[in-house]
Amino acid sequence: MRTRRTLYFAIATLVLGGIGAIVYLWSFVLLPSFIAESIKSAPPPTETVSAEEARNENWQPRIAAIGTLTATDGIDIAPQVGGVVDMIAFESGKTVRKGELLLRLDFAAEAAEMRSITAQLVNAEADLARRESLAAKGYAPRSQIDELRSQRDSLQASVDRLRAIIAQKFIYAPWDGRLGLRNLSIGSYVAAGQRVVWLQHVDPIFADFAVTEEEYGRIAAEQKVTARFNAWPGEVFTGKVVTTDARMSDASRMITVRAEIANPDGRLLPGMYANVEVAAGTPAAVITVPQTAVTFSLYGDNVFVVVPASKSDPKAKPDDLVIERRFVKVGEIREGRVAVRDGINLGERVVTAGQNKIDQGSHVVVNNSIALQATGETELQ
């Protein structure tokens, strides 16, 4: 009886051990192996991206620079003589014409002195005339005539001097231009040479900008210039190159170019910064891609190119697409497009949206509607 019980126990132990071994083998050996094989044999995940073909465009070669506006003529209006202001004939910021009266200084003292000297001059001329009549008859010596003539000429010179001083008390605009802000009032004393107001001639207006030695070789008079200003976003002002400086800067090794820009409404003011572009050379064909397609990096600019999977896998389906990362040499950036000098061929498709989901060899499908959704646009049906 005891022997039979021991036999049953041994059989049960063997059965349970076998079941445990089978469970262990399945759970920790066979099942993980099956899962790994399934994952390995599963097709790679496919990401959705937006793409656009590289296209050919004719771009006008341009030289870009930051310029500063300066008036074609600009001076500080200042009197030649000192005096008290008794009339102001201009308003701040107004446009004036050549010869227009701007300011008058008090000239009462000079006018009174001139009247006094003028009266003396009249008497001196009358006295000289009488003496000359007597001298003609031999009743007056020549020395007296010479002395009277000298007195007459001295008085005349004094009158002329006072007349010139009085004229300097009237300040006129030397040419057409726009005035700045006045900094005086009636009754103010103005010293000789003291600035009264700015006068700037700003139509046309100059834009001065610096270019490198290489760019200087492409600059010529009469070239078209466009300028943009932060004060008027989206507006383009046009002009032309008029001249260049006679030497390069010793410090920057650059040369200053001067352009002339039309400014009929006077919106452009001296001192403004301008984003200047000079049309230099004839239009040339360039391959361009959207700026969003280029990843700019210190290690090299690159793009993701969509290519057929069959290029690297002969067993792939004809419509399967994969990603190929390419380093490119880029040129100018204009209005959201980048000129590519090397690395992209005409007609190749580059990824413009969805780059964060892909890398070299990623499988993709192209759906350009995601780019429209990202920008808030609506796809036309």
In this predicted structure, what is the pLDDT of residue 230?
92
CA distance linking residue 31 with residue 38, whole number of Å: 11
Q: What is the pLDDT of residues 289-318, one digit of tens each?
A: 999 999 998 888 999 999 888 766 666 666
**pLDDT greater than 70 at residue 160:** yes
Overall residue count recorded for the chain in this entry: 381
Of the candidate ranges 13-17, 166-170, 210-214, 297-301, the one whose mean pLDDT is the lowest: 13-17
**pLDDT greater than 80 at residue 378:** no
Bigger pLDDT: 32 vs 268:
268
Percentage of the chain exceeding pLDDT 70: 82
What does the pLDDT average to over 66-93?
Answer: 89
Top-confidence range, 86-95, 110-119, 251-260? 251-260
Q: Give the residue among 342, 351, 345, 335 at the shortest CA–CA distance from 303.
A: 351
Query: Binning pLDDT at 50, 70 and 90, where does residue 1 land?
Result: low
In this predicted structure, what is the pLDDT of residue 116?
87
Percentage of the chain exceeding pLDDT 90: 26
In this predicted structure, what is the pLDDT of residue 373?
52
In this predicted structure, what is the pLDDT of residue 42?
52
Q: What sign does the CA torsion over 29, 32, 35, 36 have?
A: negative
Reduced DSSP (H G I as helix, E B as strand, rest coil) percent helix, strand, coil of the chain, to 5: 30, 35, 35
Top-confidence range, 29-43, 153-167, 291-305? 291-305
In this predicted structure, what is the pLDDT of residue 316?
64
Of the candidate ranges 4-8, 64-68, 76-80, 121-125, the one whose mean pLDDT is the lowest: 4-8
In this predicted structure, what is the pLDDT of residue 19?
75
Output DSSP code: residue 27.
I
**pLDDT greater than 90 at residue 59:** no
How high is the mean pLDDT of the chain?
Answer: 83
CA distance linking residue 34 with residue 375, whole number of Å: 45
Topology classification of domain 107-168:
Helix Hairpins (1.10.287)
First to last CA, the chain: 91
What does the pLDDT average to over 309-338?
Answer: 81
- Record the pTM: 0.62
> In the numeric block, which tokens belong to residue 35?
């899962």
What does the pLDDT average to over 268-278?
Answer: 92
Spans of all domains in the chain: 1-35, 46-58+284-375, 63-71+205-279, 107-168
Q: What is the pLDDT of residues 181-194, one digit of tens each?
A: 888 889 889 899 88
In this predicted structure, what is the pLDDT of residue 381?
30
What does the pLDDT average to over 357-368?
Answer: 86
Q: What is the CATH number of domain 63-71+205-279?
A: 2.40.30.170
What does the pLDDT average to over 123-145?
Answer: 71
Segment holding 132, helix H or strand E: helix 108-136
What is the architecture, at CATH level 2, of domain 46-58+284-375? Beta Barrel (2.40)
